[in-house]
Amino acid sequence: MALDSLRKDETLAMRRRLIGQSCRLFYSDDPVKIVRARGQYLYDETGKRYLDCISNVQHVGHCHPDITKAAAAQMDILNTNSRFLHDNIVLYADRLAATLPKKLGVFYFVNSGSEANDLALRLAQQYTQHEDVIVLDHAYHGHLVSLIDISPYKFRKLAGQKEWVHVAPLPDTYRGTYQEDHPNPGQAYADTVKDLIEDVHRKGRKVAAFFAESLPSVGGQVILPQGYSAKVAEYVRSAGGVFVADEVQTGFGRVGSHFWAFELQGEGFCPDIVTMGKPMGNGHPLACVATTAEIAGSFTANGVEYFNTFGGNPVSCAIGMAVLDVIEKEDLRGNATRVGVHLKNLLTQLKSRHQIIGDVRGVGLFVGIELVTDRNRKIPATKAAAWVVKRLKEEDQICVSTDGPWESVVKFKPPMCFSIKDAELVVQCIDRILSDKETIDLKLENEDI
């Protein structure tokens, strides 16, 4: 089978003509045309291989044969909607329930992280009969109108902040108000949410939900300080609201030690609603909301049916179960822990040699390095970060990307089969690029901004 039918320049020209230009390409100056993939590798139309450090959707590896087989087998038998009684949806829900605290035992299947968060918002508002939402600064929760409204990362560039949305500071212990040297940053940042709730009440409004990623990713691969989530949950619940953990990027064992990133906050913390997406279907559009029987009960009690044409269909659920099987069979959580620790150690060693690395942070295969032009003043080295991304692609065929409010965090969220050798190669290449005079010059140039 031919892997592509058009020359790269033809594909590009058609894309420019036919596809909305706000749908951006990676490496827009010189996009890569990827025609096949396997494991952690992508191949372009000339057969050139790229090491993929950013596809967190292809969680168990690109085109994993077990996933392909499960999908094809179920497609060959039956694919209908969830109004017909079928085993797969309940068997899959049961498998997911086994990964979550007991109280999160009711599931709604949808097709994208955005749909999951939109439904979480509806559930929270229905259950609490309140309207307002507290979100973290720089957060992104999806592309639907309702979610642009609760995503400072987007609404700041668009319609602005709605009166029912309140933004809490990002609990970033590297560059936020409370840093590593604070005796209890978890409590201090949680108190900023408490203050915000009091503000909301002063305005005569009521909080329906606090929404946060368990590890803020668009915010710059931030690790929440210990104790933060439990305290916030306490404050939000005493105001009558619920805690929504967005695990769209961070769930399914990416952090290695735990299946869900919210578990990093300790056993004393359990969200009221968990949303999941990206890795669930290894690329197949599959997402979900998990919640309590009580919250789900209030949603049922409004008398309105929830129907989702594709959500929870037998093929999606077969794929979802196959993903869970591979995570277990190949011990991908163990791999994420081992490779993640090694990657972080190597990057930390690089930090001692390169002043431009201000911070190295992460858990499992969720890792970021923040580049700064000046370590004391922590000025974001945005241009240098973009330069590193470009050169890794052009010289080493390694795909990484940037995140954070200033796009100064080089991030790693590779498929979970990423190996020790892959980690060593990437760090070696970053070392070479950061040692290069051109990068050092760029760093200085940034300082003039």
Contacts with ligand PMP, residue ranges (CB under 6 A): 112-114, 117, 140-143, 213, 217, 246, 248-249, 277
Nearer residue to ligand PMP within complex by CB, 277 or 312: 277
Nearest CA to 161 among 143, 134, 125, 194?
Answer: 134
Contact 191, 180 (CB under 8 A): no
Amino acid at 423: A
Q: How far is the CB of 250 from ligand PMP (least distance, A)?
A: 8
Nearer residue to ligand PMP within complex by CB, 113 or 320: 113
Q: How far is the CB of 284 from ligand PMP (least distance, A)?
A: 12
The secondary structure of residue 265, as a DSSP letter, is G
Q: How far is the CB of 30 from ligand PMP (least distance, A)?
A: 24
Kindly provide the b/e burial profile for residues 255-283, where b requires at least 16 CB atoms within 10 angstroms of the residue's own CB.
Answer: bbebbbbbbbbeeebbbbbbbbbbbbbbb
What distance in Å separates the CA atoms of residue 285 and residue 414, rounded to the nearest whole number?
Answer: 18
Q: How far is the CB of 399 from ligand PMP (least distance, A)?
A: 16
Nearer residue to ligand PMP within complex by CB, 138 or 194: 138
Q: How far is the CB of 288 from ligand PMP (least distance, A)?
A: 11
Nearer residue to ligand PMP within complex by CB, 249 or 373: 249
Name the E strands within 214-272: 242-246
Nearer residue to ligand PMP within complex by CB, 119 or 188: 119
Nearest CA to 44 among 35, 53, 57, 55?
Answer: 35
Q: How far is the CB of 121 from ligand PMP (least distance, A)?
A: 12
Q: How far is the CB of 112 from ligand PMP (least distance, A)?
A: 4
Q: How far is the CB of 56 from ligand PMP (least distance, A)?
A: 9
Classify 425 as helix, strand or coil.
helix
Nearest CA to 136 among 170, 187, 164?
Answer: 170
What distance in Å separates the CA atoms of residue 350 and residue 415, rounded to the nearest whole number?
Answer: 23
Q: Residue 189 to residues 80, 314, 398: CA-CA distances in angstroms?
A: 46, 43, 36
Phi, psi of 45 (to 5 degrees): -70, -15
What distance in Å separates the CA atoms of residue 209 and residue 135, rounded to the nearest whole number?
Answer: 9
Q: Count how many residues are written for the chain.
A: 449
Nearer residue to ligand PMP within complex by CB, 61 or 285: 285
Q: Which residue is nearest to ligand PMP (CB)?
A: 113
Q: Any idea which residue has 């979550």 for tokens?
A: 100
Phi, psi of 416 (to 5 degrees): -70, -5
Nearer residue to ligand PMP within complex by CB, 61 or 142: 142
Nearer residue to ligand PMP within complex by CB, 57 or 296: 57
